Amino acid sequence: MAGASAPGGESLEMLSGEVIDDDGTPMIQRAVAAWKTPLDALTCSQARLLVSQKMGLEWLAAPLAAFVLRYPDASATYFPGDLTLAALRAMRELLTIIPQPARAIANLDFAWLTENSDSDPEFLKDAEQTITKARILARGHA
């Protein structure tokens, strides 16, 4: 997410002052590695993991919104748009931190995601519910 992050090359660990122990599951180890990575060096996959865990949103929200609004269908880890879906799942928090960009994310056109006939029906149902919930939250926050 280079270019979309805050300048200075500081990590979330440095910005927050919170040191997280990396003893744990592989997912926790990946989250800790992302936590220690300078913001300007975070990969989309690392950002998706942090956002999905709602870690560091105070610092990630603005660059996340800038990236997602420009590249909503970017494939961060698993599938096109997975970073965007992570942002939608964190909508309540994003609305508190960056209300206008968060509402803009909720109002994106998601036809590219929900009209993919190759996707699993359960995945599509979950994606549509995630989008609907985020839009309801965004409308209520206006």
pLDDT in tens, the chain (142 residues): 554 545 568 999 999 999 988 778 898 999 999 999 999 999 999 999 999 999 999 999 999 999 999 999 998 888 889 999 999 999 999 999 999 999 999 999 999 887 766 778 898 899 999 999 999 999 997 5
CB < 8 Å & 24+ apart, contacts of 83-86: 83/44, 83/47, 83/48, 83/51, 84/108, 84/113, 85/113, 85/127, 85/130, 86/48, 86/51, 86/52
DSSP conformation letters of 106-123: HTS--HHHHT-TTS-HHH
pTM comes to: 0.88
pLDDT for 71: 95
